[in-house]
Homo-oligomer: A and B are copies of this chain.
Amino acid sequence: MDKHHLDSSIDMPDTPGREAGLSDSDHQAVRLWLRLLTCSTQIEQVIRSQLRTEFSTTLPRFDYLAQLSRFPKGLRMKTLSEYLMVTGGNVTGLTDQLVAEGWVERVADEEDRRAMIVRLTRMGRKQFKAMATAHEQWLQQLLAPLDSGSASDLYEQLGKLRQVLSLSEGA
């Protein structure tokens, strides 16, 4: 994923380099988006970096495995691409890699010969389990300074946002 924009900061005037220069007051939507993106990007970079140094893997692969791990019987590639919010071609490429590494296997779908089902191998499941444990710890540590109340407030607010976004989605 790429990294974008930059959040302005009313409460951090000591970091002028990060101001987005949105001094006008009616840019609320833009400012909200930039701040959301800044937070998301920063967390993402931490996770990426950790996955690389600790497990020599990447975030897309981790995401792939994370989704797949929820379905012991496997998933159609098409379904997986929807869950991951990426294109089918991308899933094809990631699948090729993970199959080559022996973490995932392709199985023909007997009910529809166009479809392929992918599922974790035993090794894939084992590897993912270790990564998932670490992944959770990283996040807990990263977000530890956020008091539990703020965290659940934020979680709730993001829930509202997600709902709003899902409206435009189908349009």
Contacts and interface: CB of A to CB of B under 8 A. Distances in A.
Nearest to A19: B70
Describe A's contact surface by its main secondary structure: helix
A52 interface: no
A46 interface: yes
Contacts of A18: 83
A67 B6 contact: yes
A35 B86 contact: no
A142 interface: yes
A40 interface: yes
Interface of A: 1-7, 9-12, 15, 17-18, 20-21, 27-33, 35-46, 59-60, 62-63, 66-67, 70, 79, 82-86, 135-136, 139-143, 145-146, 148, 150-155, 157-169
